[in-house]
């Protein structure tokens, strides 16, 4: 896949963390305009489980996503190829318990696979369609308390990238609009 045709799949935290930290709606509206413009295109996608996670917060972001529309997020749960890969992702994640019967590891696995969690669906969808997952998550290899989206992506040979490199690949730039003369 050439860089110009690379497709990206957005994780929930690509919406939540920017809203709560460095790209709030009132300070960097260009970020949200960019997502509004690109989400659902051939290059920038997300999935219904991400939309549903966003709706669980009942805040400005959930309203933004609702206004954008559920139809801008792909319904992957009904997709046979994605469902088949999801089952493979779930089997792999369950295998991580191995002989480790510690409750922390079991809870981490159950948390990753819990109904309503988008992560396994992101891996499955990206694996089927050759997309790059965009996320803020970091690897937590060998930690018993969390199954990392990145580690599961790596196992299924799914590329992943953080937000700023993604924005650069998309040639996104948010410029200051002067409202006060110098």
User: Could you give all domains of the chain from N- to C-terminal order, each with its CATH number?
Assistant: 3-169 (3.40.50.1010)
- CB 134 within 8 Å of CB 153: no
Tokens 């937590």 belong to which residue? 140
Residue 94 in tokens: 């369950």
What is the model's pLDDT at position 140? 66
Residue 114 in tokens: 């819990």
Cβ atoms within 10 Å, residue 87: 12
Cβ atoms within 10 Å, residue 38: 17
Phi-psi region of 103 (alpha: psi -120 to 50; beta: other; left: phi over 0): alpha
pTM for this entry: 0.90
What is the model's pLDDT at position 182? 65
* Low pLDDT (below 50) residues in the chain: 1-3
Predicted confidence (pLDDT) per residue in 114-131, tens digit: 988 999 999 999 999 999
Phi, psi of 147 (to 5 degrees): -95, 120
């Amino acid at each position: 896949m050439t860089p110009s045709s690379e497709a990206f799949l957005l994780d929930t935290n690509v919406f939540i963390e920017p809203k709560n930290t460095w790209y709030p709606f009132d300070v960097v509206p260009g970020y949200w305009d960019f997502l509004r413009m690109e989400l659902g295109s051939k290059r920038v996608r997300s999935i219904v489980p991400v939309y549903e996670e966003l709706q669980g917060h009942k805040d400005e972001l959930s309203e933004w996503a609702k206004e954008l529309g559920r139809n801008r997020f792909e319904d992957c749960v009904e997709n046979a190829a994605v469902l088949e890969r999801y089952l493979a992702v779930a089997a792999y994640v369950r295998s991580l318990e191995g002989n480790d019967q510690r409750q922390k590891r079991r809870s981490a696995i159950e948390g990753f696979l819990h109904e309503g969690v988008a992560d396994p669906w992101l891996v499955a969808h990206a694996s089927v369609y050759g997309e790059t997952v965009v996320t803020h998550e970091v690897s937590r290899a060998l930690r018993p308390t969390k199954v990392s989206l990145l580690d599961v992506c790596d196992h299924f040979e799914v590329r992943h990238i953080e937000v700023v490199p993604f924005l650069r690949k998309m040639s996104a730039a948010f410029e200051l609009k002067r409202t006060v003369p110098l």
